[in-house]
Amino acid sequence: MVFPVVRASGGSWILTNSRRHLDLSTPDPEAIEIGDIALGLSRECRFSGQTRWFYSVAQHSVLASRIVPEKFALEALLHDATEAYLRDLPSPLKRLVPDYARIEKVFDRVLRKCFGLPEEMSASVSTADRILLATEKRDLMPDEGTPWPILEGVEPLPERIVPWTPERSICLFLRRFAELSRTFSANDGTEN
């Protein structure tokens, strides 16, 4: 598939796989492409790559979309979409870099508007994210005994996470997006 070239002016843009110039300071919704999001997330490892095995943000997103009520599934699938462009910084580093947090918030607003998502993360998606975090800690991180305060009272999923390859992650992410897009567009943006 050949995509049109979308160019940004200035020097704060990145080139995406679909040949778009995405300005990091003022992202243009026209430069957002779901294939770029899927590709970036499928190649981005959670936890700064410090997992025992490669585990992509795309897989995390697909799993999140499967454990929320259906009306939140698209939002859950795209809840980390900013990381396709801005990378996945660990939370402690995000707190140390306030400009990153500001840029991430701008990107999140643009992405939410692009895909018709609520302005703020839904409680269901936030809960699913923490449940997955607990599951990922159990299944993918080295066990060194330190409790994570954010996970207090959160139970991991009963099933264990088996990491996917980046190729499988991109395919399942795009398949899930297509499935959810059909579900929501069939009724003019309302759940089927």
pLDDT tens per residue, range 90-132: 888 888 988 888 889 999 999 999 999 999 999 999 999 999 9
* Backbone dihedral angles phi then psi of residue 154, each to the nearest 5 degrees: -100, 125
pLDDT in tens, 46-82: 999 999 999 999 999 999 999 999 999 999 999 999 9
C-alpha span between 155 and 166 (Å, rounded): 27
Q: pLDDT-derived band of residue 3, with 50, 70 and 90 as boundaries?
A: low
The pTM score is: 0.89
Structure tokens at 69: 């009520």
Per-residue pLDDT, 191 = 47
pLDDT in tens, 171-183: 999 999 999 998 7
Class for domain 35-185, per CATH? mainly alpha
Contact 107, 27 (CB under 8 A): yes
Residues 6+ apart with CB under 8 A from 154: 130, 131, 133, 134
In 3-state terms, what secondary structure has residue 149? helix
What letter does residue 154 receive in the DSSP assignment?
Answer: P
